[in-house]
Structure 1
Amino acid sequence: EYGLPAPGGAQYLFNGDFVDRGDWGLEVAVLLLAYKLVYPGSVHLNRGNHEASTMNAHYGFLQEVLSKCESSHLVDLFNAVWDNLPICSVVDDAVFVVHGGLFREAGVTPARLEAVPRADCDPKETGSGDPALRLLVDALWSDPQDAPGAAAGARGNGTATFGPDVTKDFVGRNGLEMVIRSHQVPSTNRGFEILHDGLLVTVFSASNYCGLQGN
């Protein structure tokens, strides 16, 4: 509807998990990075939990790059890119966009997230007590829940879930209108799901996810 990226055209924000999700992760990643290089003011890339070397080693992207390009150096270059991608974006001072979700720690601000060191993101390491790593893991891995508060995530391994009160507090404290996240096929099996009294929306654009979901 809006055409390809172009100077002065529509703004495109891709919200993570570009790879590990089918047979064409390499092509998707190269295309998105090429668009970012050519149209840096029109194309924006948020990091997802699969933009991480630990995930790529288990879910296919590492082997995909090695089989298609036979280059471990290219793998290292992608890892360097992943570790430097933004973990969130704020659109029009109103909409907070993040791949996973919100935080088990209260009082988090977008400005604080800008200062989080970029690194490989392994949820199992949250037990180290590093608060910056915990913020990074929550941004890339957390999921919403119906109950208030925060809890251990069903994904295990140091992940978390967050309730509607967490979303309301985050939005109000930061002068925002809503949060958009991705990370899960919506329970509606459609491209989006509205949650937490309309303050949180899951947007998921991968049709027939991994060729199996039927969404």
Structure 2
Amino acid sequence: MDVDACIESVRQCKYLAENDMRLLCNKLKEILAEESTVVPVQAPVTLCGDIHGQFYDLLKLLEVGGELPGVSYVFMGDFVDRGRYSLETLTLLLLLKVKYPDRITLTRGNHESRNVTRVYGFYDECLAKYQSSKVWEWCCTVFDYLPLAALIDGTVFCVHGGLSPELPSVDSIRTLFRMQELPQSGGPCDLLWSDPEAHVDSWAISPRGGGFLFGYVPTNAFCHNNGVELIVRSHQLVDEGYNYPFADKNLVTLWSAPNYCYRCGNKAAILKIPDNRKAIFESDYRIFLENEVQGDVSSTAGPGSQYFL
């Protein structure tokens, strides 16, 4: 397959032929199989939270953050479901991973699973566009190969959901066997489903039905014991695009799908980690998708694009 031609086609919001998707998924398995469960990444790098099939927002994100290979990226899961263009969103990210394997890191989200995508849109989208479930099955196999976390310069820990009482160290996460459908309980599940909660000191049952609510005590312990300065996670819609749930500001929620589900009116944010590891938020950009089925997109900036410290 011609990767450059495929990227150009997908950027026009066109999905690939079935055979090209088969070749792409097979290539991704080869690349991802060589990566650690916790991928080491060097700054400078730009971090991105949930995308959820909002394809035109992904294009805008790459415009705001900078195009590859000039900028290195970590995308922290939930590429699919909810939005109208999960297939094109995922395909573009996979193609970029093939073309620039050392410049883009894709970690798994809780929506990168067979059970969840059957309910929230990706399965139905693949079925409608290909008249079969083959592409969905190939993509789900790629999901099984995705790393569970990334570690930037040994000090910034990136994960989709949060912490687990079973996994007190980064080394304990590295030893996990990940190449399987996401289990409904246990450490890997917790990493992708858990949420921080300011009103919880330690651990509590999550209302999501998977993972835990965790407080400042395990957060501080994880950071102290692993030499981590900042935990960056996504998984939760936050109106301003990012949010610090704890006073110590050693954990931040990052959300990158503006106007989520085309009705929430929220902002989106990306997080840049420069060489000196001082986190800089680039936020306050908003995209309102109008007549998106026809591909007619109008972008409206928020009150002045700004850097947020």
Tell me if TM exceeds 0.5: yes
Provide the residue aligned with 1:170 in structure 2: 222
More strand by share: 2
Provide the residue aligned with 1:130 in structure 2: none
> 1:90 offset after TM fit, Å?
0.3
- 1:113 equivalenced with 2:173 (yes/no): yes
* Matched pairs, number: 200
- Between the aligned partners of 2:126 and 2:183, the Cα distance in structure 1 is 21
- Contact residue 19 and residue 29 of structure 1 kept, 8 A: yes
After TM superposition, list the pairs within 5 Å mapping 1:107-146 onto structure 2: 108-118=168-178, 119-123=180-184, 126=185, 134-146=186-198
Amino acid aligned to 1:153: S
> 1:13 offset after TM fit, Å?
0.5
- Between the aligned partners of 1:71 and 1:84, the Cα distance in structure 2 is 23
> 1:122 offset after TM fit, Å?
4.3
- Between the aligned partners of 1:33 and 1:91, the Cα distance in structure 2 is 21
- Between the aligned partners of 1:122 and 1:212, the Cα distance in structure 2 is 31
More moved, 110-119 vs 139-148: 110-119
More moved, 68-77 vs 139-148: 68-77
After TM superposition, list the pairs within 5 Å mapping 1:144-163 onto structure 2: 144-146=196-198, 147-156=200-209, 158-163=210-215
TM-score normalised per structure 1: 0.89
**1:54 aligned residue (115, 119, 122):** 115
SS at match of 1:83: helix
- 1:66 equivalenced with 2:120 (yes/no): no
TM-score normalised per structure 2: 0.63
Amino acid aligned to 1:167: T
- Between the aligned partners of 1:114 and 1:87, the Cα distance in structure 2 is 9
- 1:207 equivalenced with 2:258 (yes/no): yes
Amino acid aligned to 1:103: S
Is there any run of 5+ residues in structure 2 with no aligned partner, and where? 1-63, 267-309
- Contact residue 195 and residue 201 of structure 1 kept, 8 A: yes
- Between the aligned partners of 2:121 and 2:82, the Cα distance in structure 1 is 8
**1:89 aligned residue (115, 127, 150):** 150
- Contact residue 191 and residue 211 of structure 2 kept, 8 A: no
- Contact residue 197 and residue 245 of structure 2 kept, 8 A: no
Is there any run of 5+ residues in structure 1 with no aligned partner, and where? 127-133
Provide the residue aligned with 1:42 in structure 2: 103
Amino acid aligned to 1:108: P
SS at match of 2:145: coil
> 1:43 offset after TM fit, Å?
0.7
Amino acid aligned to 1:99: H
Task: Give the % identical residues.
Answer: 40
Provide the residue aligned with 1:5 in structure 2: 68
Amino acid aligned to 1:202: T
CA RMSD across the alignment: 1.2
Amino acid aligned to 2:177: P
- Between the aligned partners of 1:160 and 1:44, the Cα distance in structure 2 is 25
> 1:178 offset after TM fit, Å?
1.0
Runs of 4+ off more than 4 Å: none
Structure of higher CA gyration radius: 2
- Contact residue 106 and residue 147 of structure 2 kept, 8 A: yes
**2:88 aligned residue (11, 21, 27):** 27
